Amino acid sequence: MASASSAAAERPAVLSDLLPGARVRDLALIVGGAALTGLAAQVSFPIPGSPVPVSGQTFAALLVGASLGMNRAALSMLLYLAVGLAGVPWFADGNTAWTGGGLVPSFGYVIGFVAAGVLVGHLAARGGDRTPLRTVGTMILGNLAIYAFGLPVLMAITGMDLGRAVAVGIVPFLVGDALKIALAAGLLPAAWKLASR
């Protein structure tokens, strides 16, 4: 019985646990996750009629959650958020958190990255990224967490009603999010298979 519990304790919870050197590794991963998200945010395209662009930052934030686990992903996304609030233009479209005297309409989605990092990291540590089907479920829940923060903030900043906010803040992104989820469902389980060799 003791050998089974020690084997479970030694099993890596998330992909980044495979790397040696706990403290230096953790710091590098937290900074790297924030930087990856900032870099992915620069791949963005405006959506006609929507103040929220399509960008790679959502995919990066979800991958950071799955790869780093709950605590490191939360710290990584908090760092991403804080640096953007401090004025570094690494949100989508090269924005900081502030533009034209107020918060950018997409700021709530960035707050949602923190919640998604926690949720996806928690689920990944429990095997939520080990099979394609589990990964799909994990990523759907992560996207819902992002929308749960993004939509109310979008409404508050722009004054849109719920119907309009859903039409411009969720609906245009559903196909892209489905593609990102499919990509993650292929990448993450494949990474686990490679790591187990």
Q: How far apart are CA 22 and CA 28, in angstroms?
A: 10
Domain residue limits at 103: 2-195
CATH of residue 35: 1.10.1760.20
3-state secondary structure of 11: coil
Question: Across the 197 residues of the chain, what is the mean pLDDT of every consecutive 10-residue run?
Answer: 47 74 85 96 92 93 94 96 91 80 88 97 95 96 97 96 97 94 92 84
Q: Residue 12: its pLDDT value, please?
A: 72
pLDDT value for 23: 81
Count structural domains, the chain.
1
Q: What per-residue confidence (pLDDT) applies to 16?
A: 77
Can you give the pLDDT at residue 60?
Answer: 95
**Whole-angstrom distance, CA of residue 87 vs CA of residue 98:** 8
